[in-house]
Amino acid sequence: MSPWSKMVNIFLSPEEVFMDLKEKSDWVVPLVTILVISLLTTFILLPSVIIPKQVEQITNNPNLSLEQKNKSLEIIHGPVNYFITIIGSVLGMFIGVLILSGGLMLIRVIFKGEKVPFKNVFSGAVYTSLIPALGSIITTILSYYQNSLISSFNLSLFVPELNNKFIKMFIERITLFGVWEVILIGLMLSIFYKYSKKKAFSIAFGVYFILILFFIFLSQLLPPGA
């Protein structure tokens, strides 16, 4: 199966893709694809949505003097900010795939799965990352036309207004494309490490929910607006 076929089938027949990747690593084409998507989406949103949002935050910050605001605005509109933001998004995506790959290797050690070379696991992580890449394309289009940064499609869109702050924060972090990616990771674990599907999905969703709780806790430790 060619890389292009696998990039289509990861959405249509992911089990077939993972069985192929277990036997033969293949990550160059999909990795370049998701990095290009990251670069383009950031490039599109930077002047139309991201920078205006940064300007608004600085302008409305009561803790900054007029001189500090002017200096910050000058930096934001400068070429360095463009370069750092765009390159940062690409590097962030690449580092994210590496972290995911390392996490998947750690899962095998903890839960005693079949040994699979890192390059094959990395390939699987790259292909599953096509799911959030698709999500970023959709949210970029919506953000561009609404002139407002839309982060993701989360469960808060489907439930009524909640008074409980913790539950609200938890639901807001459960996203459509995040759940989709976790489902694929569960399939990957069952095929790569020969776990039962029940065990694989329990591990995948268990880690997903633990990470959500961790980031909620972390957000409470940071000062407002950080």
Tell me what the mean pLDDT of segment 195-211 comes to: 95
Structure confidence by residue, pLDDT tens digits, 37-90: 999 998 888 888 888 888 888 888 888 888 888 888 888 888 888 888 889 999
Q: What is the rounded distance in angstroms from the CA atom of residue 43 to the CA atom of residue 58? A: 21
Tell me what the mean pLDDT of segment 96-125 comes to: 95
Q: What is the rounded distance in angstroms from the CA atom of residue 124 to the CA atom of residue 56? A: 40
Q: Which of 148, 22, 43, 119 is nearest to 88 (CA)?
A: 43
State how far Cα 195 lies from the chain centre: 25
Structure confidence by residue, pLDDT tens digits, 2-23: 999 999 999 999 999 999 999 9
- The token pair at 106 is 């750690």
Residue 174, phi then psi, degrees to nearest 5: -90, 105
Q: What is the rounded distance in angstroms from the CA atom of residue 213 to the CA atom of residue 73? A: 35
Tell me what the mean pLDDT of segment 114-132 comes to: 96
- pLDDT of 28 reads 96
Q: What is the rounded distance in angstroms from the CA atom of residue 75 to the CA atom of residue 85? A: 12
- pLDDT of 181 reads 96
161 compared with 36, residue with greater pLDDT: 36
- The token pair at 149 is 């940064």
Identify the three-state secondary structure at position 154: strand
Structure confidence by residue, pLDDT tens digits, 137-170: 998 888 878 766 666 677 776 666 767 778 878 8
Tell me what the mean pLDDT of segment 199-219 comes to: 93
**Amino acid symbol at 8:** V
Q: Which of 28, 24, 32, 12 is nearest to 192 (CA)?
A: 24
**Taking a C-beta distance cutoff of 8 angstroms, is the pair 72, 58 a contact?**
yes
Q: What is the rounded distance in angstroms from the CA atom of residue 128 to the CA atom of residue 133? A: 9
- pLDDT of 106 reads 96
